[in-house]
Amino acid sequence: MRDTENINKRMSKSAVSATVPGCIWKCTMIQTENLTKIYNGNPAVDGLDLVVGEGEIFGFLGPNGAGKSTTILMLTGMIEPTAGRCLVDEIEVAKDPLAVKKIIGYLPEDVGFYGNLTAEQNLDYFARFYDMGAKERKARIEELLELVHLDGVTQKAGEYSRGMKQRLGLAQALINDPKVLFLDEPTANLDPEGVREYRDLILALAAEGKTIFVSSHILSEVRAVCRTVGLLAKGKLVAKGTLGEVARTLTPSDEDVVRIVVETRERLPDLDDPEIVAIERNGNRAVVRATSDIRDRLAATLFEQGLHIREMRVEEPDIEDVFMAVYRR
């Protein structure tokens, strides 16, 4: 448990993010300021400003080559930025990479192990990099093997399926009980069962209070576990916020209409309203596309016509459409 003094110290107004709906104030756990990496004159990451609060599961979305891995490599202290800086739990990574490594876990896209060692032996090898006694290591490894469902597996890591390797990778990333977990494309090549298991694990870890930074080029995966996202394209952050906020920010102008879902007991008649762009009917449900939120007027009109309204709500823009539009652009 963190003491009050420490909380007060860390909760200066500028270092606070309250991006997760339903949560009160949150301390900043990951922050980047103008973070930039240039390779051969080309920016792989270009002036990235990002804030991730403690306990968030943050989805770092972007197509292949957008700069996600490069960002994670800078955040984990594997490479140095060309310009700008990044902080994890208020430690500047480039200035004190070892201090950062003690409090983070990292699952790279291509996870590697000693093929001739078992899961337990591999984990013990990595645990020795940290300040852990033999007893503590044994208990931690047992706990982690159970968590990732590799307890009782006697095969050597070289014989593991891709999914088993990924789970062992997650156990390795958790060996030091990190505050922050960086996962680079964690479900690449996992089968649907593996993806489901991974999602449950991520949610359980976040429930423990860990901050999780997940990169992915697959929207559905991010949507399943993350409430806040950043969308990266060509090294630049093009949007950030909750999934709903990002969708609203990026909705292309020709899609810039309010979608009102209406369900009536009777079939919806044609409506004469200058703001209605289109009505798509499906039985007694309809989606009314209008140039603004005309719910009050619509309800009054339907009431006047003697229709019984069962439901009327504004539908969030479909984030899938939005991301496709951004990727195309």
Q: Which residues in this chain contact ligand ADP in the complex, by CB under 6 A?
A: 39, 44, 62, 64-70
CB of 230 to ligand ADP, least distance (A): 12
CB of 250 to ligand ADP, least distance (A): 18
Q: What phi and psi values does residue 64 have, to the nearest 5 degrees?
A: -60, 135
74 vs 276 by CB, closer to ligand ADP: 74
65 vs 158 by CB, closer to ligand ADP: 65
Q: How far apart are CA 261 and CA 257, in angstroms?
A: 13
CB of 66 to ligand ADP, least distance (A): 4
Q: With beta carbons less than 8 A apart as the criterion, state whether 112 and 132 touch.
A: no
Q: How far apart are CA 309 and CA 306, in angstroms?
A: 10
Q: With beta carbons less than 8 A apart as the criterion, state whether 265 and 310 touch.
A: yes
35 vs 262 by CB, closer to ligand ADP: 35
Please give the structure tokens belonging to residue 25. 């104030």
Please give the structure tokens belonging to residue 68. 């996600």
120 vs 184 by CB, closer to ligand ADP: 184
Interior/surface letters 9-38, b for 16+ CB within 10 angstroms, e for the rest:
ebeeeebebebbeeeeebbbbbbbbebbbe
Q: What phi and psi values does residue 324 have, to the nearest 5 degrees?
A: -60, -40
71 vs 176 by CB, closer to ligand ADP: 71
CB of 163 to ligand ADP, least distance (A): 21
32 vs 70 by CB, closer to ligand ADP: 70
Please give the structure tokens belonging to residue 214. 């997940």
CB of 243 to ligand ADP, least distance (A): 19
Q: With beta carbons less than 8 A apart as the criterion, state whether 201 and 170 touch.
A: yes
Element housing 326 (H / E): helix 319-328
CB of 110 to ligand ADP, least distance (A): 12
CB of 72 to ligand ADP, least distance (A): 8
226 vs 302 by CB, closer to ligand ADP: 226
Please name every residue paired with 50 in a beta bridge, in sequence order, or none if there are none: 32
The residue among 98, 71, 101, 69 whose CA lies nearest residue 86 is 71
